[in-house]
Every structure is written in structure tokens, then in C-alpha cells.
Amino acid sequence: MNTGSDESGGAAVASEGTHVSKARDDGERALGSRAPEFVKARRLLHLSWQVGVFIIGLAVVGAGIVMLPLPGPGWVVIFGGMAIWATEFVWAQLVLRWTKRKVTEAAQRALDPRVRRRNIVLTSVGLVIIAVLVGIYVWKFGVVMPWKIKDQ
């Protein structure tokens, strides 16, 4: 497990006057463990903390995967589990940053006036095609209720 430390098997602990990693100027937090200092200071406690965070994150991600084909906010729950993992593991922090960057880029592209105009035109054409198909169906077969009102 990568805890963000320079030594293999050691916890990421900063001595006085030094920093494990600095936060970036663009608002992103520093990489590494977010465990309390008293947990990071004790190797066995920190390892137990990481195992607990991993199990909780795995349960949340597993629930999200189950929700993908079933009713429920699957992707939101999966990203919630990734956020839980990101509190402790550098690899999850990097994946979460990459995902946030891609979502922001997609949102910016969607707000582009040319893309919005194209989407509005395509939606309008699709709605016209559906309206024509429904009109043809009603003209050919009429409106038939799924129950018989006259027999009651």
C-alpha cells in the first residue's frame, strides 16, 4: 500500500519543520494520508487505519457496482467510495483528481455555444421524428385504451 512515504513500509510522518508534500496553488490538497497525527505516529495503528479505510471504501464501491444495473445512484456511490479511499491512498487521490479534471472539461465543452446549439438542434429533430411516428401509429391503429371502459 502506498502511504505517500519515502521509505518502504514506513508511515508518512513529517518531522518538525518539514512537510511531506505541499498543497498545490490551484486549490488541490497535498497527496498522502489524512489520518490523524497520533495514528500516523504509530505504525501498527496506521496500518490498521488503512485496512479499515480500504474495507469501508471497498464496501461502498461494491454497493455502487451493485447499483449500476439495479435502481440507485451507482456512479455517485462508486465515486463516494473512491473519495473514502482517497483519504488514505495516493493512487485513489490521483484517480479522483483525474476524474474531476475530466468531468470539468466535459462540463466546459457542454457549455460551449456551438455544442449547445448542435444539441438543441439534434434534440428538436429527434422530438419531431418521435412525434411523426406517434402520429402515424395513432392514424393507423387509433387510440386503444388498455382497459375496457364500456364494459364496466
Tens digit of pLDDT for each residue in 54-72? 999 999 999 999 999 998 8
Distances (CA, A) of 73 to 20, 70, 82, 100: 36, 9, 14, 18
pLDDT of residue 5: 46
Query: Is the model more confident about 101 or about 26?
Result: 101
pLDDT of residue 55: 93
pLDDT above 70 covers a percentage of the chain that reads: 74
Nearest to 59 by CA among 94, 42, 84: 84
The grid coordinates of residue 95 equal 484517480
Question: What average pLDDT is seen over the chain?
Answer: 78
Average pLDDT on 4-24 reads 45
Long-range pairs, 97-104, Cβ under 8 A, ≥24: 97/28
> Cα–Cα distance between 67 and 56 in angstroms, integer?
17
pLDDT of residue 43: 81
CA 9 to chain centre: 30
Give the pLDDT confidence of 88-140 residue by residue, as tens digits: 888 888 988 898 899 899 888 878 888 889 989 999 999 999 999 999 988 88
What type of residue is 103?
A: V
Nearest to 52 by CA among 79, 87, 26: 87
